Structures are given as structure tokens and as C-alpha cells.
Amino acid sequence: MKTKRSDNFDKFSLKKKGSAVKESIRQDKKKAKAESRAMGEAARQRKIDKARGIVTDPVPAEKGKRGAYVKKTGGYEKKPYDRKKITEAPPKYGELKPSYNARPTTINKRTPASMDKADEKRTASIGKVTASADTPYEQMPLNKYIAHAGISGRREAAQMVKSGHITVNGDTVLEPGYKVQYKDVVRLKGKVLQLQVTPVYILLNKPKDYICTANDPEGRKTVLDIIKNATTQRMFPVGRLDRNTTGVLILTNDGDLAQKLTHPSYEIKKIYEVTLDKPVTKADMEAIAKGVDLEDGFIAADAVSYLSNTSKNVIGIEIHSGRNRIVRRIFEHLGYDVRHLDRVMFANLTKKNVDRGKWRFLAEKEVRLLKFMNKSFTRKSAQ
């Protein structure tokens, strides 16, 4: 009877606790994962061996286990599988470089003898770095260059190249994969293509004594000095103002938009507030509206009016011409001295909420109106 109680007690006391059971389960899972990984590695190695021409035969499986494989290496000893990175020269075009740590690769069966001239060019360019370190890119496929210029997608660009519409440095190129260098000049039917950059649009309320140029040999202040902290992009002013003229000025790196805003055919509206040395007579106001003959041709204001009932020497004038110093020359032609000239509107943009010498980025809606030349501020060209 004593022995029976002892057996029951031992059975209870030797029973595994919860933590021991969990640890046992963890160890079993760990062992199963290790076996699974080993089987996966063996399967991958068989594929590598098969690609290298090494024949493998299965070994009869033990009871409850899958079969293993024995390598027949043809009389030489198989090197152990090494996962370390192999730092060797890249394989030549059309060849497969054996590697112990690489997955099977599809072998390109084409030989140099069967390669066309375009393939030879691509082969020669593999691994080369020809551009300097300060260039934005080293080499770029021609169809990619066209796509990044905003002309079309890469597939359509490839068709353009094959159709003979693209020239590089004056020579027609028919291979979409042709490598374009940084300083190459690419043209589509004679028009120069340029890679697009992030467009930036700034409205500046220009103060006096600043000139509208990128740099000045005389060391004078430029409008770019005011916005130097706004962006790293190369900006340029649109619709320049002379040194003593103040008001609305647009600066951007969007060449297409700048062309639209300054080209005479678009007739972009501009409104100026002109302060003169003496009151302007009614007859001169009518002459400005009808038009006057200047040394470079006839010019008429779109609208002109007094800005005050009491002061006749402050005039508002609307004009679409982009000729140099045109407003000053109109009044000087009639015998007036312009004391102050301020552009209060340009292409529907005003200096509202922008103090003198300050700037702001244009809103998306404002940019969209400029690009689509909204009829509310664009006069229709004569047909």
C-alpha cells in the first residue's frame, strides 16, 4: 500500500509544469523550422547544381523522412556552400557567371556574333561612367529622356525615335536605348527638348532700386537677391520692370509659361498706376486712348482713367504691350515726367496682401489660370 502511494505521488510530482511544456513546444517548433530551412536550402542548391550541369540522384528516404540527394560532381570534390558575397567582375554579355550564393539565372543564349550594332553599343556602355560628378545624371536612355521632358510616355517615345523624328547633336538616332549624355542636345522635329524640373512660381512686390536680371556686373541689387531663400531652382523674372518701377513681378523656372506671358500674341493685360509731375489734360487722355506714334511704332492703351477726382496727375492705364519702357515713353512723348510707376496687376495677379519687397508662392489655382490663359484676363488675338 505504501508503494502505491509513492507511485502516485511520484507521478504527480514528476509531471512537467506549464513553463516546461511551453519550452518543449518551442524547441519542437524550432527544430521543425530548422529542418524546413535545410530542405529549402537543399532544393535551391539542387537548382544551382542543375544550372551548372551537376547531376544529382536521390538517396532512399528513411522511414518518416524525405529523401536526400547525393551530388555526382564527375570526379572532383564539391566545395561547401558559401553565403559570403562573392566580389568578382560582372559576367560578360550573354554569359552566366557561376555563383554559389545566387539563384538560378536564365542564360541568354545570344552570342556576340548574333548581336546587332545596337546591342554592341549597349554592351559597350555597361558599367561605364562618362559624365562628371557635378552633372544631374551620367547617362540616360533616349526614350526615357523624352519621357522626362514631358513629351509622352516611354513606349510612345520609343516609337518617335524609331520613326526618325529625334536627333541628338544634329544626328538622327533610331535606337530608343541610345545613351544620352548630360550635354547632348536632343530635338524633336527641330524643337529642343529639356528635362523637366520641379516648377516654382513666385509673385514678388518689387521695390525700387532692384534690377530684373540674374546678376549685375556693376554689383547692383537684383530681384533674385530678395527670393534667394525661397528655392534652390534657377529662377528668372517674367515681364521685367526697370530699376525705378515697382509692383507685381512673376519669377519662375517654367520656360513655357514665361513664353506665354511675354509673347505679344497672347496680349497679357497689365495695369499701371502712374504718378506724373503735373495734371494730365483731357485731350492727352483721349490721345492715349486713341493711340500715339512712338519711334518704334504706334501704340494705344486698352483703357486709361483718372484715379482721383481731385488729383489729375495720378493715372491708371491698362496696356497689353510688352515693349520696353512703353508706359514711360507714352507719357514722355506727351510732355510729362513720370515721377513714380507701379504695376498693380499682371495677368490677373495683384500685389494684394504682399507688402513692398515681399513675395509669396502662387496658389495652384493661380498657376492653372495662367497656364490655360483664362479669358477673364486674356484678350483674344485678332484672327
Closest CA to 348 of 268, 258, 246, 285: 268
**Cell numbers found for residue 35:** 529542418
pLDDT value for 8: 54
Residue 219 reports pLDDT greater than 50:
yes
Q: Are 202 and 361 in contact (CB under 8 A)?
A: yes
Closest CA to 202 of 322, 340, 325, 370: 370
40 C-beta neighbours (distance < 10 Å), count: 10
224, 77: one domain: no
Look at residue 43 and tell me if it is in a domain.
Answer: yes
Q: Which of 57-66, 142-151, 264-273 has the lowest mean pLDDT?
A: 57-66
Residue 167 has φ and ψ, to the nearest 5°, of -125, 145
Model confidence band, residue 318 (pLDDT cutoffs 50, 70, 90) = very high
Rounded average pLDDT over 207-234: 87
Closest CA to 320 of 253, 275, 272, 361: 272
pLDDT value for 183: 82
227, 345: one domain: yes
* Tally of domains in the chain: 3
170, 229: one domain: no
pLDDT value for 120: 46
Give the CATH number, domain containing residue 176: 3.10.290.10
Identify the domain boundary among 147, 172, 192. 192
Whole-prediction pTM:
0.52
Look at residue 2 and tell me if it is in a domain.
Answer: no
What residues make up the domain containing 211?
Answer: 201-371
Look at residue 379 and tell me if it is in a domain.
Answer: no
Model confidence band, residue 18 (pLDDT cutoffs 50, 70, 90) = low
Strands (E) in the chain, as ranges, are: 55-58, 69-72, 139-141, 166-168, 171-172, 179-181, 186-188, 191-192, 201-206, 236-238, 245-252, 270-276, 292-294, 297-299, 303-306, 314-319, 338-346, 349-350, 359-361
Q: Are 304 and 317 in contact (CB under 8 A)?
A: yes
Closest CA to 163 of 180, 143, 179: 143
Residue 202 reports pLDDT greater than 50:
yes
Look at residue 249 and tell me if it is in a domain.
Answer: yes
Look at residue 380 and tell me if it is in a domain.
Answer: no
Separation CA 348–CA 377 (nearest Å): 6
43, 82: one domain: yes
Rounded average pLDDT over 205-234: 88
81, 206: one domain: no
Look at residue 54 and tell me if it is in a domain.
Answer: yes
Q: Which of 41-55, 220-234, 304-318, 354-368 has the lowest mean pLDDT?
A: 41-55
216, 359: one domain: yes
pLDDT value for 114: 44
249, 290: one domain: yes
* Buried residues in 343-371 as b, exposed as e (16+ CB within 10 A): bebbbebebeeeeeeebeebeeebbebbe
Q: Which residues carry out catalysis?
A: 242
pLDDT value for 41: 80
pLDDT value for 381: 45
157, 301: one domain: no
3-state secondary structure at position 367: helix
pLDDT tens column, 322-348: 888 899 999 999 999 999 999 999 988
**Cell numbers found for residue 314:** 495720378
Q: Are 349 and 366 in contact (CB under 8 A)?
A: yes
Rounded average pLDDT over 203-230: 89
231, 348: one domain: yes
pLDDT value for 16: 59
Look at residue 251 and tell me if it is in a domain.
Answer: yes
Residue 373 reports pLDDT greater than 90:
no
Residue 105 reports pLDDT greater than 90:
no
205, 267: one domain: yes
Look at residue 130 and tell me if it is in a domain.
Answer: no
Residue 363 reports pLDDT greater than 60:
yes
142, 250: one domain: no
